[in-house]
């Protein structure tokens, strides 16, 4: 059966990793303006404070990992009161050496590896909306190893560097997201997959995308009444069942039109439409242009 999480990562198309080492000592604080691209941070040693806009402040400790799929504004600091230095990540040059905040020289209070990458998918906004705004994972050694590999590979100048980094980041994202898959997650795909009733229905949607699903059939897969399933899915995932299915079909269709040498009728069949004209109408309404034109572009 299809793994929805792996499919989301595949469609997001992460690439172009940049990573840097950051340290802080004494009285320090930095305020980053909204970035929009996905970013991550791993605590190599020590402790610091992270306050992401719209989320509760976090105390980060050695071994912690944080992923911000869309990176809103945030403040990172030590634990002493300080006026944060403002930084615009879109304008600041990318440093090649470790960045030190606060007291210069000596042993830092915290050392981090931070970085960012990009999602190439034109459906990135939709897919990211299904993920939590802040993903905080504590004490997972597998993530620490992956972060270390990202740091080493990003500094090296070896053949195949970009491909290796892309593959590592794909695994990093999957590890971080499935480690966060619990009932405390905000509405979205992770929370839906953590729900024992909804998960079978979501997996059926992904594994049998060409099937003409109805809410009644999906409710049966979830062992719920139609109304109970509709309400639970909408509340847990943040989209109504047919909205989610349509959005997923269109995301997959765009991926097929971009990458595969398939005709419109074959793409239509793969994503659950009985005729190419019905698919073209739905695609044009959802994407803003006809599938044939989208494929040529």
pLDDT by residue (tens digit) across 100-146?
999 998 899 999 998 888 888 877 887 888 888 899 998 888 888 88
**Is the model's pTM score more than 0.75?**
yes
Average pLDDT over the chain, rounded to an integer: 88
pLDDT at 2: 61
Q: How confident is the model at residue 176 (pLDDT cuts 50, 70, 90)?
A: confident
Residue 259 has pLDDT above 80, yes or no: no
pLDDT at 5: 82
Tell me the mean pLDDT in the region 67-76: 94
Please state whether beta strands 39-52 and 58-61 pair in parallel, antiparallel, or not at all (unpaired). Answer: antiparallel
Cα distances (angstroms) measured from residue 49 to each of 63, 69, 81, 122, 196: 14, 19, 11, 33, 34
Cα distance between residue 202 and residue 205, in whole Å: 5
Residue 1 has pLDDT above 70, yes or no: no
The length of the chain is 297
- In the chain, residues under CATH classification 1.10.10.60 are 189-296
Pick one of 3.40.50.150, 2.60.34.10, 1.10.10.10, 1.10.10.60 as the CATH number of 189-296: 1.10.10.60
pLDDT at 122: 77
* CATH of segment(s) 4-179: 2.60.120.280
The alpha carbon of residue 191 and the mean position of all alpha carbons in its chain are separated, in whole angstroms, by: 14
pLDDT in tens, 41-52: 999 999 999 999
pLDDT in tens, 2-41: 678 888 888 788 887 788 899 999 999 999 999 989 999 9
- In the chain, residues under CATH classification 2.60.120.280 are 4-179
pLDDT at 191: 87
The phi-psi region of residue 102 (left if phi > 0; otherwise alpha if psi is between -120 and 50; otherwise beta) is: left
Residue 182 has pLDDT above 60, yes or no: no
Highest mean pLDDT among 118-132, 155-169, 240-254: 240-254
In this predicted structure, which of 36-40, 182-186, 248-252 has the lowest mean pLDDT?
A: 182-186
119 neighbors 17 (Cβ within 8 angstroms): no
Cα distance between residue 86 and residue 74, in whole Å: 10
pLDDT at 225: 97
pLDDT at 20: 87
Residue 212 CB-half CA count within 13 A: 5
Residue 288 has pLDDT above 80, yes or no: yes
| CA-based max dimension of the chain | 68
pLDDT at 60: 96
């Amino acid at each position: 059966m299809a793994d929805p999480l792996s499919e989301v990562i595949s469609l997001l198309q992460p690439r172009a990793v940049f990573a840097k080492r950051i340290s802080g000592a004494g009285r320090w604080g930095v305020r980053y303006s909204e970035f929009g691209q996905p970013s991550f941070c791993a605590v190599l040693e020590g402790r610091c404070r992270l306050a992401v806009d719209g989320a509760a402040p976090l105390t980060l400790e050695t071994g912690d990992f944080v992923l911000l799929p869309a990176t809103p504004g945030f403040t990172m600091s030590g634990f002493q009161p300080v006026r944060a230095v403002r930084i615009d990540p879109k304008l600041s040059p990318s440093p090649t050496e470790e960045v030190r905040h606060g007291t210069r020289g000596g042993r830092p209070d915290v050392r981090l590896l931070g970085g960012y990458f990009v999602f190439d998918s034109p459906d990135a906004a939709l897919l990211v909306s299904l993920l939590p705004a802040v993903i905080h994972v504590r004490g997972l050694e597998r993530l620490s190893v992956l972060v270390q590999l990202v740091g080493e590979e990003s500094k090296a100048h070896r053949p195949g560097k970009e491909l290796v980094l892309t593959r590592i980041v794909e695994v990093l994202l999957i590890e971080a997201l499935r480690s966060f898959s619990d009932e405390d997650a905000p509405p979205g795909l992770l929370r839906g997959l953590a729900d024992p009733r909804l998960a079978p229905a979501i997996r059926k949607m992904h594994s049998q995308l060409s099937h003409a699903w109805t809410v009644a059939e999906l409710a049966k897969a979830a062992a719920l009444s139609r109304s109970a399933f509709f309400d639970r899915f909408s509340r847990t995932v943040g989209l109504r069942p047919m909205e989610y299915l349509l959005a997923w079909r269109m995301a997959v269709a765009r991926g097929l039109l971009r990458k595969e040498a398939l005709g419109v009728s074959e793409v239509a069949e793969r994503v659950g439409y009985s005729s190419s004209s019905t698919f073209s109408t739905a695609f044009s309404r959802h994407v803003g242009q006809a599938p044939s034109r989208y494929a040529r572009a």
